[in-house]
Chains A and B, each alone.
Chain A
């Protein structure tokens, strides 16, 4: 029974480069969430999708961040251009539509140098 799968687990990139994080939600889950975790701000919701449609992207820090969900089994979070302050752990989570029980992936640790 595969959980939420994220790739890569670690990403080190230079400032100004494009970064793409990937997520495969749990099969059958209709809601998908992208979170960012830092020591200072804790877990922040960036954006979430219901049935592949973005519902709330108010947490996306700025236009450099974009997220897509082309189908029910895949989502991407892209940062272009990346900056050192984007360094954080990015989590993807999924749940049944409207359900509170969200299941998290193992995260992608992003370091921008």
Chain B
């Protein structure tokens, strides 16, 4: 089946630093999404990308839809303590169904 690969499993950064995460797939997706999960909560949608090459920002977050349609990147600039959490990428193909495939997530820690 389809799989999304996120690595490393954990990242540790200093407050104020920028951080970049990527997500790769062996198959093509037509929509890429990035979610963040806080402890004890459900994943929350951060950014959705619909076109290959698209670059979208949401505050300090910027995400890009890779031109091969097999990868996506999320950048967080000037990190703050509340950026701590698990970041998931997800992809949707163009089939008749609407389900998402999720990566395993990257746990981000921010040191004050």
Contacts and interface: CB of A to CB of B under 8 A. Distances in A.
Contacts of A25: none
Interface string B69-112: 00000000000000000001010100001111111110000000
A87 to B, nearest CB: 16
Interface in A17-59: 31, 33, 42-43, 45, 48, 50, 55-56
Given A55-B97, A100-B33, A100-B92, A106 B41 contact: yes
User: Chain A at the B interface: mostly helix, strand, loop or mixed?
Assistant: strand
Interface stretch (B10-18, B19-27, B43-51, B53-61): B43-51
Nearest to A97: B98
A50 B45 contact: no
Contacts of B103: 42
Interface of A: 4, 31, 33, 42-43, 45, 48, 50, 55-56, 91, 93, 95, 97-107
A102 B45 contact: yes
Chain B, interface size: which category? 20 to 34
A97 B98 CA distance: 7
20 contacts: A33-B100, A42-B102, A43-B43, A43-B102, A45-B99, A45-B100, A48-B97, A50-B97, A55-B97, A56-B97, A56-B99, A93-B42, A98-B98, A100-B50, A100-B92, A102-B100, A104-B42, A104-B44, A106-B40, A107-B41
